[in-house]
Homo-oligomer: A and B are copies of this chain.
Amino acid sequence: MERITMEHGGGGRATGELIESVFADAFSNEILSAMEDAAVVEGSAHIAVTTDSFVVTPPEFPGGDIGRLCVCGTVNDLLMRGAVPKYLTCGFILEEGAELAMLRRIVRSMAETAREAKVQIIAGDTKVINGNGGLSINTTGVGFVPEGVSIHASNSRAGDAILISGNIGDHHAAVLSSRMEMKNTIKSDNAPLNEIVERLCESGVEVHVLRDVTRGGLATVLKELAISAGLRFEIEEEKLPVDPQVRDFCGLLGLDPLYMGNEGKLVAVVAGKDAERAKKIMQNAAYGARAERIGSVFAAKEDFDRGKLVLHTKIGGKRNLDVLQGEGLPRIC
């Protein structure tokens, strides 16, 4: 079995051969082939930039892998500002002993997902370190922001509706199941959300905030948005879409889907008047079939009410939710 050696990271002939045989084949385009220190590409008056490192173990899991994950995570972060994703860079850190066959599968998966998400990989870097055959990938994304678009975290308003694009907790539950070698068919939701965002923006729906639900889960995201806007967010437990198998899995382990990460779900805060239309648009777009309106935004009655996130439970109670405490599962992305 071919494996990565320290020589692959030396910057000489072996590095060149690795790049040629693994990366060039999958990512090949004119810009990368030039092998310049930096890529020079077309720009735009306003650009969105985001960066993320991915360290998930195992690197291949039910429904996806670290290659698909890093492209989706980065593309989705650009989309959350209303940007059109354009370019990706990728920095690989390979541990000595990593299997070349696995690396090839991951790189192919990145290339396929990049095509799906309509982004071009324009720059890359590879380093090799001592270790146990693992790898991590940093992806940085650049997108173009159309004139007049202003979607940002503190932009929620009283009267807005809160929507989620589908089931929560899938990615987290899939990675955890895989690590615990549990027998179930839970799959990661890792997906690029271009179509949902494009259609929402084109439709004229008043989109105030978009945020993808990753580490920390839905509750953490909503709590942060409530604080950021100084408003009160209320959501209804019975509206939260959760896959039955994920619900059972969480019950068994004492986990709360509200704090479990996804990699292909977004929260949209839109004008209340547009809520129904936004839901239908999301439901008809790729990866949005199970979209739901889950709550509303209210003006804070008093100072202590600012930044509150209230959950109306199924049995009629109310719970104040905070951001994730403690460890979560750090290596789901």
Contacts and interface: CB of A to CB of B under 8 A. Distances in A.
A255 interface: no
A10 B326 contact: yes
A122 B77 CA distance: 14
A153 B12 contact: no
A12 B326 contact: yes
Interface in A116-150: 122-125, 127-129, 136, 138, 140-145
A13 interface: yes
Contacts of A329: 10
Interface stretch (A81-89, A290-298, A310-318): A81-89
A80 interface: yes
A36 B142 CA distance: 14
A331 B216 contact: no
B51 A89 contact: yes
A47 B43 contact: yes
Given A37-B81, A55-B93, A129-B55, A49 B122 contact: yes
Contacts of A236: none
Interface string A299-332: 0000000000000000000000011111111110
Contact of A13 (B38, B78, B325): B325
A81 B327 contact: no
A101 interface: no
Copies of this protein chain in the complex: 2
A328 B129 contact: no
A224 to B, nearest CB: 8
Contacts of A152: 34, 36, 40
A79 to B, nearest CB: 8
A257 interface: no
Interface string A77-115: 110110100010111110000000000000000000000
Nearest to A85: B38
A50 B325 contact: no
A279 interface: no
Contacts of A141: 38
Contacts of A201: none
Contact of A10 (B9, B11, B38, B327): B327
Given A14-B327, A52-B125, A53-B138, 5 more contacts: A11-B328, A12-B215, A12-B326, A38-B80, A51-B89
Interface of A: 6-7, 9-16, 34-55, 76-78, 80-81, 83, 87, 89-93, 122-125, 127-129, 136, 138, 140-145, 152-154, 211-212, 214-216, 220, 224, 228, 259, 261, 322-331, 333
20 contacts: A10-B330, A11-B216, A11-B220, A12-B325, A14-B326, A36-B80, A39-B48, A40-B46, A40-B48, A41-B46, A41-B47, A42-B46, A51-B89, A51-B90, A52-B91, A53-B91, A89-B140, A123-B140, A125-B138, A136-B136
